[in-house]
Structure 1
């Protein structure tokens, strides 16, 4: 499915920590011109017409993972201007934190996108200084650190 990137899209995404709040679930996406090794992206997706961003994140997680979200908390709205294979995109992302139930496996977990493609889920450390792959949406790492620190306390 081709995505029209000519307009600003509204998304809702989830910071989903593991039980120890030492890592969070992200998708591992295929290489692009900008990220030849691939990249990580928070779980979630587009807000549909007539749907709130809260409803969207709950729906997306259920559709893609078959999981519910517990302790859902709105953190922020972030703007993300990006390029995928040299095509510019622009999205406004409502960023949430919450626990997945059930949690994805520590290895071998996947989710199914709306176009039917299957994407691996990996656990990204909250301390990602050594992580070679970028995290998208851009600018969310500080929110990840803050959300996981709160969950540990």
Structure 2
């Protein structure tokens, strides 16, 4: 059963040539991997842009610039057998530290302290159906 709240989040599409930065996650019920840009939950009284900067720093210790709001997506989904509902502020930005673009993959941290692995994945891998990108509708923005 869902907790019946709508979660507001900010995520960022970082681009490197024909690739975007995503982390890999797994749905145990669907037995399916999926990929999502990094970001996280908006706290009460916090603006989505401030959330984005905070979350990127907390997750990978990076500062960002050239930030632009691309769109807002409403996402209703099922993860691990539970219904989720999010309003997703989707941003585009650049890393201040250019070394992030030189790495093929690296680790970051979720809010709960667990480790996540981030990858630069080609956009074409999502377009041809080899990989699943979430939230639904994000691929249209790319």
Out of 69, 73, 77, the residue aligned to residue 74 of structure 1 is 69
User: CA 1:93 to 1:30, structure 2 compared with 1: closer, same or farther past 3 Å?
Assistant: same
User: 2:130, 2:29 → 1: CA distance?
Assistant: 16
Out of 8, 23, 38, the residue aligned to residue 27 of structure 1 is 23
TM-score by length of 2: 0.89
1:48 aligns with 2:43: yes
RMSD after superposition: 1.6
Shift of 1:114: 1.0
Out of 124, 133, 141, the residue aligned to residue 131 of structure 2 is 133
Counterparts of 1:1-153 in structure 2, within 5 Å, are 5-18=3-16, 20=17, 22-34=18-30, 36-102=31-97, 103=100, 106-128=103-125, 129-143=127-141, 145=142
Shift of 1:93: 0.4
TM-score by length of 1: 0.83
Superposition misfits of 4+ residues, deviation over 6 angstroms: none
Shift of 1:5: 4.1
User: 2:54, 2:82 → 1: CA distance?
Assistant: 28
The 8 Å contact of residues 27 and 79 in structure 2, kept in 1 or not, is answered as no
Contiguous gaps of at least 5 residues in structure 2: none
Contiguous gaps of at least 5 residues in structure 1: 146-153
Q: Paired residues, what number?
A: 138
